[in-house]
Structure 1
Amino acid sequence: MFKRSLATLLLSVPTLSLAAQQVTIPFNGLNLGANLAIAEGSSLSDNIVVLTHGTLAHNEMEIIATLQSLLSDEGINSLAVNLSLGLNSRQGMYDCAEPHQHKHSDAVAELNAWADWLATQGATQPIFAGHSRGGNQTAWFADTYPEKAKAQVLIAPATWSEDDAQESYQKRYRTPLDGELQRAKASDQSAWLDTAGFIYCENARVTASSFVDYYAPNPRFDTPTLLKTASVPTLVISGSEDNTVPDLPEKMPNVDNSHVTYYNIEGADHFFRDLYADEVIEQIVEFMDTLE
């Protein structure tokens, strides 16, 4: 449904280039994990950026680890969360062979749990940042709990349209999305379904409710649409060579909202590798300076 390339995603290798403290909190019978990086001479009451990864990914993938390291160099604390995707103490990429009972919308409640934990640690005004699908989920969180986010940074956030979702599913799985979606809607929502595909997992086993949550048409999946009513300061960063969300630069000029700042990085792809990551951090630092 979201425009992504599995081949591109798998290029992001799990690596963490700075010493980070592993943090675990309980949530709905699961343990949620995160990497907490405190910059030298800093404390959580000074600043904190909460980083959320993309689809079925994890908090030690290259882009997240790089951003944590560069933020630390700038004296900025960060918390890179690992969305549970319905699994206890999940680590690494989600295995497509694993049955799926997670939902896109689950991230909102999990980010809220991390916001509450940060408040107990003295970080009362966190900035939330997300990459790709995590950018869209971050925007959902800030829209739902604007009082808990000082600001948000959305890095190559996901875009969506119903036509694109239908076309993408048909092309990838050679099966109409409508048929799979209607079957899921008609099923007991707790029932397990064998599907032609789910996200980018072929022949996936998934609960009906999860399939409906990810695939039922919802304009909120389109981050620029969601940002038209954003009420928290927002920075959106895109890459001119991004083939995963290629229409983001076309859509952002249509967002007429004084809370939203948009910046396109020429030459950057979806993962902002090498010097492009430095440019992302430069934009984040400049944006944070405007919030003081």
Structure 2
Amino acid sequence: MSGQRYYARGVFALFALLFPVQHATAETVEAKLSTGIIATADFRAGQPSRPAILLLHGFLQTRYAPPMSSLANTLADRGYTVLTPTLTLDINRRAKSLACEAVHTHTMEGDVAEIGFWANWLANKGYSSIALIGHSVGSTQILRYAAKDPNQAVKKVVLTSLVPFHGKPQEVQNALALAKRPAGERNLGRFTLTYCNNNYVAPPAAYLSYVSNDTKQTLDLLGKTKVPAEVILGTADKTITTDWPQKIQSRGTPVTIIDKASHFFDGAQEFDLADKVEAILQNLPAGNQ
């Protein structure tokens, strides 16, 4: 059966090259946040019988970044209402990913507040069943939101490639010392954060807001989330340790493992991710009642 499945996928991929798929047209929406910054998102309305889906990109990326961008297209084509915001990171109408060397004034708290804003936006449009899906750091941010005070319409969170932040202990100490200096909020340091290796430029408080979300806190949040959560990981993901799935499961959170999937679920595993996500979504109530 597996051979037939991959043969079918190969035929589909060839067909897609010859006849490109026309995805549902997205409406770009803008909204002014309480900070005065303009946030943007793409919105595609789907069938009322299906839940509404909010998909969040990875660290410093935008809504156009894979794998969430391709998953958004797939879910919209299958009739789901899809909202894909770009976190502002304190930049008006941000449309490009940020380099590590940029000055990062944004914080984890601000990112989580924006997730809440867009979840409320969907709920205010009448969607009573919402699922939040994140990728990588986006999953960590959604987890923070789900463990705090999520909108009652949020029924599920799906955390793909969930990975905690890791800060170097000495850099954390340096940031704490830098914050205590005069004009601490305006001081800038160079730190290590996810793939930014000693070149993440930020005020110390902004940097510390992310590194506090380490492995222990991430696992603790899984035990505190106020809506059901599921995690999807890949066997070829080099950003996680081999015991990470077991640690997640020890907190009572279901984990799906996709064989040969990398951190970004590229290649044939893109289809596996879409299938696993939709299997989860099919258990949710209608989105617009």
Q: Would the TM-score normalized by the shorter structure come out above 0.5?
A: yes
TM-score, structure 1 normalization:
0.80
Farther off after superposition, 272-281 or 49-58 = 272-281
| 1:20 and 2:22 aligned | no
SS at match of 2:174: helix
| 1:130 and 2:134 aligned | yes
1:65-84 matched pairs, under 5 angstroms = 65-84=69-88
Q: Distance in 2 between matches of 1:218 and 1:52?
A: 20
Q: Distance in 2 between matches of 1:81 and 1:104?
A: 16
Identity rate, percent? 23
TM-score, structure 2 normalization:
0.80
1:44-193 matched pairs, under 5 angstroms = 46-146=50-150, 147-160=152-165, 165-166=167-168, 176-187=170-181, 188-193=183-188
Q: CA deviation at 1:220?
A: 6.4
SS at match of 1:195: strand
Q: CA deviation at 1:204?
A: 4.5
Q: Which amino acid aligns with 1:209?
A: A
Q: CA deviation at 1:191?
A: 1.6
**1:136–1:221 Cα contact (<8 Å) kept:** no
Q: For this pair of structures, how many residues does the alignment match?
A: 259
Q: Distance in 2 between matches of 1:277 and 1:221?
A: 29
Q: CA deviation at 1:236?
A: 0.8
User: Please, which of 270, 278, 281 is the counterpart of residue 288 of structure 1?
Assistant: 281
Cα distance change on mapping 1:189 and 1:127 into 2, 3 Å = farther
Provide the aligned C-alpha RMSD in A.
2.4
Deviation per residue, 1:97-117 (Å, 9 max, x gap): 421100122221101111221
Cα distance change on mapping 1:218 and 1:275 into 2, 3 Å = closer
Deviation per residue, 1:59-79 (Å, 9 max, x gap): 101212110111123211211
Question: 1:233 maps to what in 2?
Answer: 228
Question: 1:34 maps to what in 2?
Answer: 41
| 1:244 and 2:239 aligned | yes
The structure number with the bigger radius of gyration is 2
Q: Distance in 1 between matches of 2:171 and 2:232?
A: 30
Cα distance change on mapping 1:165 and 1:192 into 2, 3 Å = closer
Cα distance change on mapping 1:55 and 1:220 into 2, 3 Å = farther
Question: 1:170 maps to what in 2?
Answer: none
Q: CA deviation at 1:181?
A: 2.3
Cα distance change on mapping 1:251 and 1:46 into 2, 3 Å = same
Q: Distance in 1 between matches of 2:172 and 2:240?
A: 23
Q: Which amino acid aligns with 1:252?
A: I
Q: CA deviation at 1:242?
A: 0.3
Deviating beyond 6 angstroms after TM superposition, the runs of 4 or more aligned structure 1 residues are none
Question: Structure 2: which 5+ residue stretches go unaligned?
Answer: 1-20
Q: CA deviation at 1:252?
A: 2.0
Q: Which amino acid aligns with 1:165?
A: G
Farther off after superposition, 213-222 or 54-63 = 213-222
Q: Which amino acid aligns with 1:158?
A: V
Q: Which amino acid aligns with 2:155?
A: K
